[in-house]
Amino acid sequence: MAKASFEIPKLDEYPEVPPVVPGTMAHSKPYVAKPDFQAPLEFPGELPDDWHDKAIDAMGDLLGKYRSLRVYLDSCVKCGACTDKCHYYLGTQDPKNMPVGRQDLLRKVYRRHFTFAGKYFPKLVGAEDLTKEVLDDWYSYFHQCSQCRRCSVFCPYGIDTAEISMAAREIMDRIGVGQKYCNEIIGKVYKIGNNLGLPEKALADTLEGLEEDVEEDTGVAVKFPLDVKGADILVVTPSADFFAEPHVDGLIGYGKVFHEAGVSWTLSSKASEAANFGMFIGSYENMRRVSLRIREAALELGVKRIIFGECGHAWRVAYSFLNTLAGPFDFLDPKYPVPQHILEFTWGEIQKGTLNIDKSANDDMVVTFHDSCNVARASRMGSEPGGQFKIPRNVIKAVCNHFVDMAPETIHEKTFCCGGGGGLLTDDLMELRVKGAKPRMEALKNVIEDYGVTNMAAICAICKSQFTKVLPYYGMDMDMIVSVHQLVSNAIVLTGQTSEDDEEESTEDAA
């Protein structure tokens, strides 16, 4: 079990809602961005003297731009429906991690400055001035929300705490209080093209290495093309797919699927990152700037289609916002949705029968599936509502013999966040990440004990990294996490493939 300087939650067989313990996570704060990390995003580097007025002005500006913010700050009746729905509350017991508790940090200032009742009867309606202490609370608790939208499923008015958190982070950025992790990464995307700061040369080398590995394993020359002009499909994938485990096994899976489908595809060094951290910080301008790279890459390479790799928040921005931010995509082939998810493509090929699948290749596993929060509640796959649940499971079942779902209240639209989404996947928030993973760990532990589950498949770079890191804290093996396309990769028998398995089988046949 991994060592920790904090208490690791005990997993319960039947999850219970814990009692409120105020202030348990008041100390949790990510590193603040230095001026150098603020500048590329066009945010001030430090807190100005008139920060209070600037913050209120920023709030007013956002209230005029986002109907969600205005309506949600007005509409909450404090019914409590959301109070036991956030994984961070369930894991920390801190009432400011209840969705409404988190919203109220912003709402009390909104009421004080923008409502009649709050201006004249602040005590009565719980309105408060924006003090330095309140700002500190904002910084702490708006960086304890992974924008997973689970609360919005249960709210009778659909109030989405993600919208409130994004607005709060944008206000803080505008007064020079940015979060290092997100803002440094966005700067890297502007400068180098991806979150990891992987330059073009390194990327080309990595892909070449992948080609060699796959050829060594299978005897088939599967290509991982980069910046190929005139290719049909531009593939945009999270940069973790280029080298992190188990992400890279997923990327190998995409390559094999494209190879067998016989389509021409390419990655782009300019758009070598699917993730868009502009969403995490609630900045429309930065989210747009990050998105425009993809449009530019598609135009420069002259592709006909765009397909996104396995990534949760990235798929939200791609599916729900890309057309808004960087559209219209009338220069692409109108026969295909823009963009498509890699699972939509793979499921299509499976249905067409272009892939030669040997399900027994995954017989050493009993697999369960973690619905990534932003795929589940903020996007879709396929043409039917709920396709985002069916298509990944269909693909898994098509390549695995043993699949089991976790408890119904922890999957589909009620899925729990991995605990590391929304710009929180940083080591300075390790305690929060471990505690926030508790509900998912409980559900996983139950299917391990009841059904002998050995692996959990995920379709998000953040989920994969987060679980790899967090599982050991709960006494589970970090290698349990697999990419869905890793399962596909295992099961695909490439045309002309000569693998060890085949040789073994042929010896058996001969004997």
Rank residues 247 and 289 by Cβ distance to other proteins and give the closer one. Answer: 289
Nearest-approach distance from CB 338 to other proteins, in angstroms: 6
Q: Residue 321 has which token pair?
A: 């916002």
Nearest-approach distance from CB 287 to other proteins, in angstroms: 9
Of 130-189, binders to other proteins (CB under 8 A) are: 149, 152-160, 163
Rank residues 328 and 452 by Cβ distance to other proteins and give the closer one. Answer: 328
Listed ranges 192-200, 256-264, 372-380, 438-446: which one lies at the site for other proteins (CB under 8 A)? 372-380
Nearest-approach distance from CB 69 to other proteins, in angstroms: 8
Residue 267, SS3?
Answer: strand
Nearest-approach distance from CB 149 to other proteins, in angstroms: 6
Of 390-419, binders to other proteins (CB under 8 A) are: 413-414
Count of residues interacting with other proteins (CB under 8 A): 75
d(CA 492, CA 488): 6
Q: How many helices (H) and strands (E) does the chain have?
A: 24, 7
For the window 34-63, what string marks contact with other proteins as x by the rule CB under 8 A? -----------------------------x
Of 284-303, binders to other proteins (CB under 8 A) are: 284-285, 288
For the window 9-38, what string marks contact with other proteins as x by the rule CB under 8 A? --------x-xx-x----------------
Binding-site member from 195, 268, 362, 379 for other proteins (CB under 8 A): 379
Query: If you search the block for the tokens 């001026």, which residue do you land on?
Result: 35
Nearest-approach distance from CB 147 to other proteins, in angstroms: 11
* Omega cis (within 30) before 328: yes
For the window 97-136, what string marks contact with other proteins as x by the rule CB under 8 A? -x-xx--x----------xxx---x-xxxx----------
User: At 178, which amino acid appears?
Assistant: G
Q: What is the DSSP secondary-structure string of 315-363? A: HHIIIIIHHHHH---TTS-TTS-SSEEHHHHHHHHHHHT-S-B-GGGGT
Nearest-approach distance from CB 110 to other proteins, in angstroms: 13
* Omega cis (within 30) before 246: yes
Cα dihedral sign, 14-20-26-29 = positive
Rank residues 90 and 355 by Cβ distance to other proteins and give the closer one. Answer: 90
Helix runs in 262-334, H state only: 284-301, 312-316, 322-326
Binding-site member from 295, 380, 433, 440 for other proteins (CB under 8 A): 380
* Omega cis (within 30) before 339: yes
Binding-site member from 4, 35, 75, 299 for other proteins (CB under 8 A): 75
Nearest-approach distance from CB 117 to other proteins, in angstroms: 5
Any contact of residue 65 with other proteins (CB under 8 A)?
yes
143, 30 Cβ separation under 8 angstroms: yes
Rank residues 343 and 429 by Cβ distance to other proteins and give the closer one. Answer: 343
Q: Residue 485 has which token pair?
A: 């396309």
Listed ranges 8-16, 27-35, 93-101, 502-510: which one lies at the site for other proteins (CB under 8 A)? 93-101
d(CA 266, CA 303): 9
Of 427-456, binders to other proteins (CB under 8 A) are: none
Rank residues 264 and 320 by Cβ distance to other proteins and give the closer one. Answer: 320
d(CA 271, CA 297): 6
For the window 316-345, what string marks contact with other proteins as x by the rule CB under 8 A? ---xxx-xx--xx--------xxx------
Rank residues 121 and 230 by Cβ distance to other proteins and give the closer one. Answer: 121
Q: What Å distances lie between residue 424 and 99, 137, 179, 482, CA to CA?
A: 17, 16, 10, 21
- Angle at which helices 484-491 and 342-352 pack, to 10 degrees? 30
227, 268 Cβ separation under 8 angstroms: yes
315, 379 Cβ separation under 8 angstroms: yes
Rank residues 85 and 435 by Cβ distance to other proteins and give the closer one. Answer: 85
**Nearest residue to 30 (alpha-carbon basis) of 426, 471, 456:** 426
Rank residues 97 and 272 by Cβ distance to other proteins and give the closer one. Answer: 97
